[in-house]
Amino acid sequence: MGPTTEVIIVGGGFAGVACARELSRRGIRTLIFDKNSYHQFQPLLYQVAASQIGVSEVTRPLRAIFHRTNKVKVFTAEVASIDTANHSVTTTDGHSYRARVLVLANGAEPNFFDTPGAREHTYPLYSVRDATRLGTALVAALNTANNEPEMEHGVRVVVVGGGPTGVEIAGAIAENFRYIVPGYFSPEVAEKCSVHLVDMLPNLLTPFDDKSKAYAVKRLTRMGVKLKLGSGVTEVTPGSLTFADGAHLPADIVVWAGGLKAGKLVGDSGLSLGRGGRVDVTADLKAPGAGGVYVLGDTANMTDARGNTLPQLGSSAQQAGKWAARNIAAELTGNPTKPFKYVDKGYMAMIGRGAAVAELGPKRRLVHGPIAFAAWLAVHLVLLSGWRQRASALFSWAEDFLSHSRSHVVLGRAD
Ligand SMILES: Cc1cc2nc3c(=O)[nH]c(=O)nc-3n(C[C@H](O)[C@H](O)[C@H](O)COP(=O)(O)OP(=O)(O)OC[C@H]3O[C@@H](n4cnc5c(N)ncnc54)[C@H](O)[C@@H]3O)c2cc1C
């Protein structure tokens, strides 16, 4: 067992970083564990997959985030198990560490809902590795289509899941096929490529207002995305998908944006789990029945003051991280903790060039089109971690907008 510290945080995502920052401001010694040496910015992963921005723009070394404080120690190690009674974690290399308070902020993983073939034959989009793998597969498939002009079809992409992630990646790939592929490959190849967006529900962007849904359908259709809604995917095989209504769709690349669930670490923790395998936390963000254990962000079902479950968003994770740190500081000094007060900033989804939907604030003020597009860019620029990352992303967006060009290469391998 390693040295006892005050707080251990598992996960250096939005929630973990916000929590560690606030703890450090309050002088509380913290160990933050992440299996990666970097913090990754999930909202822009689809742009990495579409070669719109580079990996270095969506990642920042965790040690760079905390290099100015001696209160936060970064451990690059995968946590294999947790002991909620002892507030301890054991890493995959067998070392154990204990603290007075344990914070679980280890995010989520793709939920394939036991769909046969989905895990093996689709590309999820949850990590930088996923994004580079998908981007590499797209470029490889385009190269094949380019080198074999006699092929009847171009690259056939099917995106499963009509939530914000599915809409964003479908729109970005369709834009690439329309604006980038004709110049970088050939107009003949571009014409033969296709993007389908499929969902078991009869509409896209479920939590959004009907007007936002209709706008998304209109813009995606105009960009050439074909929609198949109202029938779930029952099987994925190499080269095709089968649907509950008996239909089949050929596909060279299937992107899985079908949903998320909390990871195995929380599943094996002995904590009682709610929807999506997440922990139904108390109002002050703690695991019920386990003293001194906080569960945050995508790992938790968090609620607002009215008891409504919060969406899995960067801003809810970030706010929860900061709030939990204040409660931890109170707990360590024998003071009462306070129920989480979530500031509802609304929802947004990018559809494509000059097209986005935004529902701002608790009153859900609807904005569509270029204004929502600009708001989306501004919000994501602010959320990004690091000035270099922000400046570089801004440059890439400007380059893309003004010249329809892509300077970024994806670094993964398709196999
Ligand atoms: C493709 C995509 C697009 C999105 N777009 C938006 C958007 O536009 N706006 C928005 O607000 N939200 C968006 N979200 C949601 C948002 O990114 C998440 O809600 C947010 O990242 C949750 O933060 P978190 O800290 O709970 O988890 P994460 O950010 O996922 O962080 C979890 C961390 O834990 C680490 N970890 C996991 N397991 C272990 C382990 N066993 N040991 C050590 N470390 C571990 C991971 O490496 C990761 O760094 C998007 C999500 C996705 C996937």
Q: What is the pLDDT of residues 150-199, one digit of tens each?
A: 888 999 999 999 999 999 999 999 999 999 999 888 999 999 999 999 99
Which domains, from first to last, does the chain contain?
Answer: 5-35+77-110+260-332 (3.50.50.60), 118-258+346-403 (3.50.50.100)
165 lines ligand 1 (CB under 6 A): yes
Does residue 161 line the site of ligand 1, with CB under 6 A? no
82 contacts 102 by C-beta, under 8 angstroms: yes
Q: Measured from the CB, is residue 34 less than 6 Å from ligand 1?
A: yes
- Residue located nearest, by CA, to atom 35 of ligand 1: 11
Output 61-66 pairs: Cβ under 8 A, ≥24 positions apart: 61/37, 62/12, 62/17, 62/32, 62/34, 62/36, 62/37, 62/38, 63/37, 64/386, 65/12, 65/17, 65/21, 65/39, 65/385, 65/386, 66/20, 66/24, 66/32
- pLDDT value for 362: 83
C-alpha span between 103 and 268 (Å, rounded)? 16
Residue whose CB lies within 8 A of the most ligand 1 atoms, among 256, 295, 313, 376, for a mutation test: 313
Residue 36 has pLDDT above 90, yes or no: yes
User: Is a pLDDT exceeding 90 seen at residue 305?
Assistant: no
- Residue 17: helix, strand or coil by DSSP? helix
Residue predicted with more confidence, 400 or 18? 18
Q: What is the pLDDT of residue 3?
A: 45
In this prediction, residue 34 has a pLDDT band, given cuts at 50, 70 and 90, of very high
**Is the pLDDT reported for residue 415 higher than 80?**
no
Rounded to whole angstroms, the Cα distance separating 400 from 415 reads: 28
Q: Is the CB of 400 under 6 A from ligand 1?
A: no
First to last CA, the chain: 39
Q: Is the CB of 105 under 6 A from ligand 1?
A: yes
- Nearest CA-CA partner of 33 in 69, 68, 82, 70: 82
Q: Where does the pLDDT of residue 404 fall: very low under 50, low under 70, confident under 90, or very high at 90 and above?
A: confident
The confidence score (pLDDT) of residue 235 equals 98
Mutate to test the pocket of ligand 1, among 42, 269, 379 (most ligand atoms within 8 A of CB): 42
Number of helices and strands (H, E) in the chain? 14, 24
Cα 127 from Cα 45, distance rounded (Å): 7
Q: Long-range contacts of range 237-245, CB-CB < 8 Å, 24 or more positions apart?
A: 237/117, 237/121, 238/121, 241/158, 241/160, 241/198, 243/198, 244/200
Distance CA 199, CA 216 (A): 14
What does the alpha-carbon distance between residue 253 and residue 173 come to, in Å, rounded to a whole number?
Answer: 11
Does ligand 1 have an atom closer than 6 angstroms to the CB of 344?
A: no
- Residue 386 near ligand 1, beta carbon < 6 Å: no
Residue nearest atom 7 in ligand 1 by C-alpha distance: 43
Of the chain, the percentage scoring pLDDT greater than 90 comes to: 83
Residue nearest to atom 3 of ligand 1 (CA): 43
Lowest mean pLDDT among 56-65, 244-253, 321-330, 384-393: 384-393
42 with 32: CB under 8 angstroms?
A: no
The rounded percent of the chain whose pLDDT value lies above 70 is 97
Query: Which residue's CA lies nearest to atom 15 of ligand 1?
Result: 313
Measured over the CA atoms of residue 164, residue 165, residue 170 and residue 171, the dihedral's sign is: positive
What is the C-alpha separation between 290 and 277, in angstroms, rounded? 17
Grade residue 347 by pLDDT with cuts at 50, 70 and 90.
Answer: confident
d(CA 320, CA 24): 16
In angstroms, the CA 199 to CA 164 distance is 12
Average pLDDT over residues 270-289: 94
In sequence order, what are the beta bridge partners of 39?
60
Ligand 1 geometric centre to CA of 297 (Å): 8
Question: Is the CB–ligand 1 distance for residue 12 below 6 Å?
Answer: yes
